[in-house]
Structure 1
């Protein structure tokens, strides 16, 4: 799967840098072309000579090479790469990339890369477990990067636990497996909805909800990474997609989202409705701003059209339709009722009673229930990992 792939391998300052020599060797053996970029501190652990010999390319460490007088163009490096791997990534480099601190060639190349980026942390147990490190990992995942999780074992400090960089053989296996997935949904158009809807009370005020759009955006990115032609229909949100090959359609109200879904679902293979669409909207929005007056204000609400039900009624046998159920009580019963009422192939259930699940969080805890009422429950994970689980289910149904 790596034959002919152009790979940028970033190496930062960690004792695990010695494993990078084996990683380069395995990547070259698999047919990849490898360009190594090292931070200054990485050179304290392994020499550029070793890595240049194995990669058959000069190792890059600085923007400007004093001896040769050559300029290392980080933009060209970022555009050249089919994949970028940072292994090992230290706590320091992790923090820099998560927060956009661009003070070396490796960081600049990362910010210029348009390809998938994988990062394999290596650090001591307590550094890995620290809340700041975990926050930085969550940020990188949120930006669409892919974590190759550290492994458990004996650490350089003498402690035993999580923090060892994944073995080079495991890293190569993960890359090959991910690339294989990358072709699974080629030429398949999939609609994803995300975010809230805003229902106008007047030109200034609206009725909305707390949805951030994080879950829907993560699903859209994962489907695009698998080769799908993704149409992302999103309500108001500050989220951005990491994958640039996504057609994004911004809408505001439930009615706007309905029209966009009807237009694009007709030619789509599947649709994942993860948006938190308003159930009610003001019956008569005011044309001018409502002034504050003495006494109460009553707003008459009317039901919005159930988009998921509308799509379920026109769904072809060869289409896959998935919905979400965010519940606070009678969770499974309500989710199962939606499957049957709205002609869904599966539903993703999450509960606001579960800590770390729901709106605005970077994590989620879900149960997938299919139309045969088979349930698959997952532990609390990052929304990027949850998106992978949901897309595995969707992919299986599309390809069966």
Structure 2
């Protein structure tokens, strides 16, 4: 059967930059080899990308490559005869949603700091609408250079000036460099830059909000090699952390034992057991405005830990051990004298709405997010049920599964709406 949007059971591919026009500028550094992959990912995310290359960039990667990937001729000449009005720097920026310079070399950053306009890339950045109005075009730069050039006071001074003039400067990676040296200065990987660009272009309903999130399972040790845990992958909590950061929040993520990359711009604290998570969350909760308890925390732990691996030794009788109850992290945070806005998660196997309602009352929190845990643990898509004092609300409204990042963005919008003062 041919799949159509109506009968396709799979969640649709997410196109985070769909309909946006991005100007991608390349200055002359070896990191240009990453720019082809960056362009591919931007196009895959739905962006209409127009490439501007300096003469130096053309020595590292050909315009033909960038034209083939973007579907548009590459611009590099101030006096481009293809432009009817002879003004490529104006035509490129009017109607653009952002200018992304990647790589931005030390020389490029210096030129931007000085407002130089003697090549097309500098002229285009200078000519972009840069004020605070609706036509404003953000300038995002991804630095790339040798570690000594990156650390030089002149580069750092120029970078501060570019940021003061309204640009967004991304960080750099550390590691082995093309020159053979090791240190800071590598350009971020393409996927990281795309994630950062999406965050820059996202609305900021949580600007100024501090959000604390727990994610993943906990592991309660029985002996040095065994323990009690669950199937939570942590994907939903990590997606909420990324979505909250995109929405402008300052995010701290307390993660159980999972193998997931930390979202860009998020502070991560790794823990293992429920007791460790409790000891991290409780002191931190009072310093945050919102607490989202996504983690699947074990209710019980062994009362005593065997110091050595429990051996069978030919015995036919299974070992027994006593369990003791773990502290209730969500209830403890909700009971603080001045608690943050608390959002709990209920991963149930049956009677989702009933159990979520009961949990909200029992924990004394304003919002519970319910889902059928066994059906969604480890999956990339899900549906949720929001339960508050006013009733129940499916998320998304049509009940069709969304990939977890798209679902997290909807949940973050719901949280932001609940935090907003009444009009």
TM over 0.5: yes
* Structure 1 position 37, deviation (Å): 9.6
Name the residue aligned to 2:67: 42
Name the residue aligned to 2:303: 283
Using the alignment, how far apart are the partners of 2:63 and 2:169 within structure 1? 16
Name the larger-Rg structure: 2
* Structure 1 position 185, deviation (Å): 2.3
Pick closer, same or farther for the CA change 1:288–1:39 going to 2, 3 Å.
Answer: farther
Name the residue aligned to 1:368: 386
* Structure 1 position 187, deviation (Å): 2.8
Is the Cα–Cα contact under 8 Å of residues 212 and 237 in structure 1 kept in the other structure? yes
Given the two structures, how large is their TM-score scaled by the length of structure 2? 0.58
Is the Cα–Cα contact under 8 Å of residues 37 and 61 in structure 1 kept in the other structure? no
Unaligned runs of 5+ in 2: 1-21, 26-37, 52-60, 81-87, 93-99, 104-140, 151-158, 160-166, 171-185
Using the alignment, how far apart are the partners of 2:218 and 2:168 within structure 1? 37
Q: Is 1:76–2:144 an aligned residue pair? A: yes
Using the alignment, how far apart are the partners of 2:252 and 2:102 within structure 1? 40
Match of 1:230 among 229, 242, 251: 251
* Structure 1 position 237, deviation (Å): 0.9
Is the Cα–Cα contact under 8 Å of residues 303 and 322 in structure 2 kept in the other structure? yes
Pick closer, same or farther for the CA change 1:13–1:377 going to 2, 3 Å.
Answer: closer
Using the alignment, how far apart are the partners of 1:303 and 1:203 within structure 2? 20
Equivalent runs, 1:48-59 vs 2, <5 Å: 48-49=74-75, 54-55=88-89
Using the alignment, how far apart are the partners of 1:276 and 1:226 within structure 2? 24
Using the alignment, how far apart are the partners of 1:184 and 1:275 within structure 2? 24
Aligned residues: 285
Match of 2:289 among 261, 269, 272: 269
* Superposed CA offset, 1:117-143 (max 9, x none): 4xxxxxxxxxxxxxxxxxxxxxxxxxx
Unaligned runs of 5+ in 1: 1-5, 26-35, 63-72, 85-107, 118-143, 147-174
Using the alignment, how far apart are the partners of 1:235 and 1:220 within structure 2? 14
Pick closer, same or farther for the CA change 1:242–1:200 going to 2, 3 Å.
Answer: same
Pick closer, same or farther for the CA change 1:348–1:13 going to 2, 3 Å.
Answer: closer
Name the residue aligned to 2:279: 259
Using the alignment, how far apart are the partners of 1:15 and 1:219 within structure 2? 25
Q: Is 1:309–2:331 an aligned residue pair? A: yes
Is the Cα–Cα contact under 8 Å of residues 38 and 61 in structure 1 kept in the other structure? no
In structure 2, the residue corresponding to 1:314 is in which secondary structure?
Answer: coil
In structure 2, the residue corresponding to 1:185 is in which secondary structure?
Answer: coil
Given the two structures, how large is their TM-score scaled by the length of structure 1? 0.61
